[in-house]
Structure 1
Amino acid sequence: METPTASRHLPADARRAATVEAFVDLAARTNPSDISTTAIARHMGVTQGALFKHFPTKEAILEAVMGWVAERLLTRVDAAARQAASPLAALEAVFMAHVAFVTAHPGVPRMLFGELQRAEMSGPKRMAQTLIARYGERVRALLAQGKAVGEVRSGVDEGTAALLFIGSVQGLVMQSLLAGNVGQMGVQAPGVFALFRDALAGARA
C-alpha cells in the first residue's frame, strides 16, 4: 500500500495504475463486490474525489483491473511457454505459471468468478470472457503442436482437453480458497498436471 503523501502526488497514469493495484490487493482478502470506492480511496490514502478524476465509476475501475489481469497473466504464460523445450513441456510451464500468478494475486480468481457469474453483460464481464477465450486459444495451439510432434495422441479433442486444462487450474483455485490456503496450489499443481499429461500421452489411437 502506498503512503498517503506518495499517492497524492502521483501523475495521472501512475494514479490509475495504483488504483488498479489497490483493488487487486483488497480483493485478496475481501469479496470484490463488497469493495467500495471509499475503501479503495482509503487504501490509497486519497479522497474519493481524487479517485473519480481518473475513474468515474466502480465499473470503470473493474474494466481497468480486468485489463491489468489479462495483460499480466497472458504475458506470464506466453513467456513460460516460449522457454519450454517441447509443446507438452510448454503446457506444463503454462499450468505452473498460471498457478504461480494466482498464488501471487489471490484476489484475481475472485474477481473473474464474480464477473462471469453476473447475469447482465457488462464491460468487465466481457473482458473476463475475452481473457478466457484468448487463454483457451493458447492451450489449444499447444495441444495441436503436441499432436504434430507425437507428444499428444491423435485422438485427443483439443477443445475438450483445453477445457479440462483450464478447469484443472480453476479446481485448484477453488479448493485453495475453500481451505483458506492459497499456497497449497503450488504443492498440488504438479500432481494434477501429471494426471492431465498422462491422459494426453496415453496409448496412441
Structure 2
Amino acid sequence: MSLKQPTETRQAALVAAALALAAERSPATVTTAELAQAVGITQGAVFRHFENKEAIWLAVIDHAHHTLLNRLQTAASAHATPLPALHAVFMAHVDFVVEHPGVPRLIFQELQQPHDTPLKARVRRLMHDYRLLLTRLLQQAQDQQALQPGTDLQAAAVLFIGSVQGLVMQSLLSGQVGAMRVQAPVVYQLLQQALAAPRHTHSPQETP
C-alpha cells in the first residue's frame, strides 16, 4: 500500500466532516477543532493533512466539482435525445444539493467576498465546466430543431443554472432543502416551455 493512503483517507474524512458541518450552519463558523473532533484526530493533526482551513474548503470545492459533474454527465448519458437529458441533468443537480447543502452554502458565502480568492477561482472553474455540458446538450437540441428558433444558447444555459440556483436559495432560506425535489419538476416544466420548440413541449420524462 502507498504511504500516501493514510493522508488521503484523512483528507477525505476532513472534507466529509466539513461538508456535514456546513450543511448545518455557515461554513465561516466551522473551526478546525470541530473538524478534528468529527474525524477523531487532534487539532494539530489537521494541519499535517491540510496547510490551513482554506485548503480544506478548496478540497471541498474540488470534491464537489468532481462529484457533481460526474453525476450530471451520467444523468445526461442515460438519454438518447437532448431534452430528456437536460431534464435529467436538472434533477441530478437538485438531488446533489439536497444531499450536500453545505456546497451551495460555501459557494454563496464565498461569492459575497469583494476580492478575488482561490475559492472563487475554483467555483468559476466548476461553473465553466457545467456551462460546457449544458451548451453541448443545448447545441444538440438546437441541431435537432428541438429549441425555439433563434434561441441564444449561452442565455439558455444561464437561465437553466439560474433556475436551479433560485430553487437552492429558496430552500436554504426556508430551511427545507428537501422541498426542492417537489418544486423542481414544475420549475423545469416552465423552463422547457420557454426553450422548447412547440412540438417538443411534451413531458420531459418522455423520450422520443
Q: Structure 1-normalised TM-score?
A: 0.92
1:154: Cα distance to partner? 2.7
Residue 134 of structure 1 corresponds to 129
Residue 111 of structure 1 corresponds to 106
Residue 7 of structure 2 corresponds to 12
1:153: Cα distance to partner? 2.1
Flag as ranges the 4+ runs of structure 1 deviating above 6 A.
none
Per-residue CA deviation, residues 68-109 of structure 1 (Å, 9 max, x unaligned), is 000000000000000012101111000000000000111111
Whether contact under 8 Å (2:146, 2:197) holds in the other structure is no
Letter in structure 1 aligned against 2:106: M
1:177 maps to 2:172: yes
Unmatched runs of 5 consecutive residues or more in structure 2: 200-208
Give the whole-Å Cα distance in 1 for the aligned partners of 2:66 and 2:113: 22
Matches within 5 A, 1:35-184: 35-184=30-179
Residue 203 of structure 2 corresponds to none
1:31 maps to 2:23: no
Give the whole-Å Cα distance in 2 for the aligned partners of 1:151 and 1:202: 5
Whether contact under 8 Å (1:109, 1:173) holds in the other structure is yes
Unmatched runs of 5 consecutive residues or more in structure 1: 1-9
1:123: Cα distance to partner? 1.5
1:138: Cα distance to partner? 1.0
1:129: Cα distance to partner? 1.1
- Evaluate the alpha carbon distance shift between residue 203 and residue 83 of structure 1 in structure 2; reply closer, same or farther with a 3 A threshold: closer
Letter in structure 2 aligned against 1:99: V
Give the whole-Å Cα distance in 2 for the aligned partners of 1:120 and 1:55: 23
Moved more, 88-97 or 32-41: 32-41
1:202: Cα distance to partner? 4.1
Whether contact under 8 Å (1:116, 1:129) holds in the other structure is no
Report sequence identity in percent: 48
